[in-house]
Amino acid sequence: MEWYWLPEYAPRFLEGLWLTLQLLGLSIFFGMSLAIPIGLAQVTGPWPLAWTARAFCTVIRGTPLLIQLWLIYYGLGSLFPFIPGIRESMIWPLLREAFPYAVVAFSLSVAGYEGEVMRGAFRSVPRGELEAARAMGMSPFKVLRRIWLPRALQNVFPTLAGEFILTLKATPLAATITVFEVYGVGSIVRQETYRIYEPLLFVALIYLCLTFVLVIAFRLMERRMPQRSA
């Protein structure tokens, strides 16, 4: 084992770690913002909406994330030469960077998987509770905000924590579209120093620590949730 390279690459690992955290955080935020309406649409939506939501989940869950990522990054990129003026447009600085594409791809993935989880979650809330809330005179939106959503989230909280850990471990795929997050930096070290085990072990250790932090964070949040003894 040789670790002489570690001090030299430490700043880049820090940058990579920051990228990984941003990617994970943004994907979970945008992904869950989509997953909740997608889950709800599947349970109560009118059929065209329910059908669209279900189709979305099936497509996202049924295709490899790597291919989705490449379709979004290189696929869209191959269309740019045919769109006149795109390189002079206001959004071009965003379109030329790779990071936004990674966020979009990962958010859609989170939305697809968690949309399905949320479908089950909304369905698992006892109808009686919703009816009781309605009988209290709450509007449908208030029922959702006060009863349905909190109860649904509470039911699937441990599942979601597990899913987010899976998302964390999918982030190395971003390195294939020039987003050099933790894994990407690790592979640069591998290629520049020709050491194999040490950089890989180091990267694995970082992910292990991140997972540990996620688990602890979710457990704390779970404990703060009001529990109803059955």
Partner 1 sequence: MKTLTTFAATATATLMLSTGIASADVTIGIAAEPYPPFAEKTADGSWTGWEVEMIGALCEAMEETCTIAPIAWDGIIPALMSKKIDVIMASMSITEERLKTIDFSDKYYNTPAVLVGAKSMEMTGDPASLDGKYVGVQVSTTHANYVDAHFAETADVKTYNTFDEHNQDLVAGRIDAVVGDSLAFQDFLKSDAGAPYEVKAELNDVAIFGPGVGAGMRKDDTDLHAKMNAAIEKIRADGTYKAISDKYFDFDIYGG
Q: Residues interacting with partner 1, by CB under 8 A? A: 74, 77-78, 80-81, 86-87, 95-98, 175-176, 178, 180, 187-188, 190-192, 194, 196
Which residue, 31 or 199, is less far from partner 1 as judged by CB? Answer: 199
User: Dihedral of the CA atoms 128, 133, 139, 143 (nearest 10)?
Assistant: -80
Give the shortest CB-80-to-partner 1 separation in angstroms: 5
Q: How far apart are CA 126 and CA 206, in angstroms?
A: 41
Closest CA to 113 of 28, 175, 44, 198: 28
Give the shortest CB-193-to-partner 1 separation in angstroms: 9
Which residue, 148 or 202, is less far from partner 1 as judged by CB? Answer: 202
Give the shortest CB-64-to-partner 1 separation in angstroms: 17
Which residue, 43 or 72, is less far from partner 1 as judged by CB? Answer: 72
The CB-side HSE value for 71 (13 A sphere, CA atoms) comes to 10
Give the shortest CB-196-to-partner 1 separation in angstroms: 5
Which residue, 60 or 105, is less far from partner 1 as judged by CB? Answer: 105
Give the shortest CB-184-to-partner 1 separation in angstroms: 9
Give the shortest CB-177-to-partner 1 separation in angstroms: 8
